[in-house]
Amino acid sequence: MKKYEIHTLKKSSGFKSMKEELTKEVEQFLNRKANEGYEVVSVSFAYYESMELIAFITLCR
pLDDT number for residue 15: 63
pLDDT number for residue 25: 92
pTM over 0.85: no
Distance between CA atoms of residues 7 and 36, nearest Å: 15
pLDDT number for residue 35: 95
User: Which residue range forms the structural domain that includes residue 44?
Assistant: 4-60
Distance between CA atoms of residues 13 and 17, nearest Å: 7
Amino acid 33 reads K
Q: What is the pLDDT along the chain (61 residues), one digit of tens a residue?
A: 668 888 888 888 666 678 888 889 999 999 999 999 999 999 999 887 767 889 999 999 8
Number of domains the chain is built from:
1
